[in-house]
Amino acid sequence: MESLLIKGGKPLCGTVKISGAKNAALPILASVILSRGTSVIHNVPRLSDVEVIIEILHDLGVEIFRREDHALVCTVKDETSYTPPRELVQKMRASICVMGPLLAKRKKAKIAFPGGCVIGKRPIDLHLKGMQHLGANIEMQDSHVKLTADFLHGTKMFLGSAFGSTVLGTANVMMAAVLAQGRTIIDNAAREPEVEELAKFLNQMGAKISGLGTNILTIDGVEALYGTEYYIISDRIEAGTFMIAAAMTKGRVELQNINPLHLACVVRTLEKMGVVIVEDRDGLVVEGQDSYFPTQVCTNPYPGFPTDLQAQLASMLVTIKGNSCITEKIYPQRFAYVAELMKMGACMQRKGASVHIHGGTTLKGLTVFASDLRASAALVLAGLVAVGETTIKHIHHLERGYENLQAKLSLLGADIIYE
Ligand code: EPU
């Protein structure tokens, strides 16, 4: 199952149920390390990245049972280990999320520098800066960082880089601060719904975090956290990908199990391009049109246009007559998909952190190579509208972040099979 074969030209029609949010599930699962007792976490997507965090947690003494209904039952059984296995950490950037919980609960963490999608520089200096502010000693070794602290203390800190706030950095510091002595204030905290979701989960376990959904988080340390039951929000990036697919293929797709508020900027962007989007009781209906307008888009931290939908939007823009431009403000190198779309006939030019698109091309199906998760999704979208057959190689990237994408697209009428 290393490639997907798509015969383009079929409009997507029908209903799709969006899965739980990968980027909420990963830190929430890591935060179980902080707790006593059992937590039941519902709506956890079945993805390879989730399998990686489960393996890491097993190794760190957390017992996890997967139920048939997308729920995970998690209990900390053994608190002796503080070193997640290097080979697992290097598979996925989000494994860095165990750092804060280990430091806060087990007083030390030794962790390899994480891997993950190759989308440009992904340092962890802000995570470390936050931990240092909370009182951690930090030793950098060749491929590891070791953090120790007999106790953490609350403090005020500004967490940001030239690229804005940090999602996992905010999550990590917040998880360390919940058991610190006193009050921590994180200024310039990430406001992404997945960060808010983690804060809600921690509060349900007994933490005292306020300012949820804003860029100033106040965390009053508590003595202990306890197991709880929680239902994870749906994946706004999966939803956005299906919205773009519906529009591109000129189909009609109803998205269920979503929160339209989390998609406001995506809805506005697509509507400006001429896509018709109707909000109904259960979600959103995207109605494709015969033609669309080109546009200029800049990715930004939430509530701006998400970097995780940049490649998919570019795929759509290459098919729209006129000049469009996308500027990437979070990961200025996140354009690995451009060369593959150009092979399919797209007329695009990369200039620094922007890609200029001379749209209106009829894409041609051929063999292309996926380089990372969202680039893979962009190539799938291109394949859905290309003339002829598109083979996408290295699709294991897709399985990191899209649950059953092939099956969901097939149900909507796409001609897409594993090869
Ligand atoms: N940054 C630093 N230093 C740090 C941390 C980040 O300079 O210590 C920079 C990054 O290099 C980047 C910017 O700050 O330029 C923002 O990075 P951020 O830390 O917010 O990214 P992340 O937390 O590692 C999460 C998502 C990504 C998503 C970004 C931005 C998860 C598991 N990952 O990554 O999701 O692109 O936020 O929204 O939550 C994906 O799902 O495909 C994906 C890559």
pLDDT tens digits for 32-50?
A: 999 999 999 999 999 999 9
How many CA atoms are closer than 13 Å to the CA of 369, on its beta-carbon side?
A: 3
Q: Quick check: CB of 121 below 6 Å from ligand 1?
A: yes
Question: Known catalytic residue: 117?
Answer: yes
For residue 162, the model assigns a pLDDT of 85
Q: Quick check: CB of 168 below 6 Å from ligand 1?
A: yes
Answer yes or no: is pLDDT of 119 > 60: no
Q: Which of 49, 118, 167 to mutate to test the pocket of ligand 1 (most atoms within 8 A of CB)?
A: 167
Bridge partners for 3 per DSSP: 393
**Residue-wise pLDDT tens digits, 140-188:** 988 889 999 999 999 999 999 888 899 999 999 999 999 999 999 999 9
SS3 293: coil
pTM score, whole prediction = 0.97
By percentage, how much of the chain surpasses pLDDT 90? 92
Q: Quick check: CB of 96 below 6 Å from ligand 1?
A: no
Specify whether the CB–CB gap between 266 and 306 falls below 8 A: yes
Specify whether the CB–CB gap between 286 and 9 falls below 8 A: no
C-alpha triplet 219, 302, 258: angle, nearest 5°: 100
Rounded CA gap, 322 and 97, in Å?
A: 43
Bridge partners for 253 per DSSP: 14, 286
Answer yes or no: is pLDDT of 393 > 70: yes
Rounded CA gap, 179 and 345, in Å?
A: 54
Q: Quick check: CB of 307 below 6 Å from ligand 1?
A: yes
* Catalytic option among 13, 74, 97, 117: 117
Q: Which of 122, 198, 299, 312 to mutate to test the pocket of ligand 1 (most atoms within 8 A of CB)?
A: 122
**Which numbered atom of ligand 1 lies nearest the CA of 401?**
41
Band of the pLDDT at 241, cuts 50, 70, 90?
very high
Mean pLDDT of 59-68: 95
**Which numbered atom of ligand 1 lies nearest the CA of 124?**
8
Rounded CA gap, 367 and 79, in Å?
A: 48
CA of 387 from ligand 1 middle (Å) equals: 35
Q: How far is CA 65 from the centre of its chain?
A: 23
For residue 14, the model assigns a pLDDT of 98
Q: Quick check: CB of 172 below 6 Å from ligand 1?
A: no
Please give the structure tokens belonging to residue 230. Answer: 């929680």
For residue 118, the model assigns a pLDDT of 57
CA of 287 from ligand 1 middle (Å) equals: 32
Q: Quick check: CB of 23 below 6 Å from ligand 1?
A: yes
Q: Quick check: CB of 129 below 6 Å from ligand 1?
A: no
CA of 2 from ligand 1 middle (Å) equals: 27
**What is the 8-class DSSP label of residue 10?**
P
